[in-house]
Amino acid sequence: MVSRRRADGDPGGGEGDEGQIGGYWKRFLFGIAVMAVIFTGLLLAIDHLGLVAPAGDGADLPPRIELFEAVPDSVRPGEGTVLRWRVSGVSLADEVRIEPGIGAVAREGRLAVQPEETTVYTLTAINAAGEDEARATVEVAGAEQPALSP
């Protein structure tokens, strides 16, 4: 690395350079601009991924089950089916469950099940503002029908 020093002892960068203070000022402003671009990109990525909901954007609304289904909804004994669901209006701290026998699940997903008898699956989504519930029935041909509860 070559170090240049002007005749007057100033360590400036040579002719045409604005001197040490001007050079630092340009680098400082360039650094701020680069950080602003990076920060803006991060904010856009966070918004696109839906990791942060703006204040007043449904935070006080109950959850909504957009989809809950079993595909196929009728099987023979020993065959399986896939439960699919999607819930909006719940955050990471809220509860989404499928019963019987499955428990806590993500806000959106798929799960292969193989019921031994006709089964009514219940998806329940809960947040501080309320809850929503949906049911999907999987009929198993030749199996006993479940007793319907009120």
pLDDT in tens, 88-121: 877 765 899 999 999 999 999 999 999 999 999 9
pLDDT of residue 55: 54
- Report pLDDT digits (tens) over 38-50: 988 888 877 766 6
C-alpha span between 17 and 130 (Å, rounded): 66
- CA 134-139-142 angle, to 5 degrees, is 160
Percent of the chain with pLDDT over 90: 43
pLDDT of residue 110: 95
Helix and strand numbers, DSSP H then E, in the chain: 1, 8
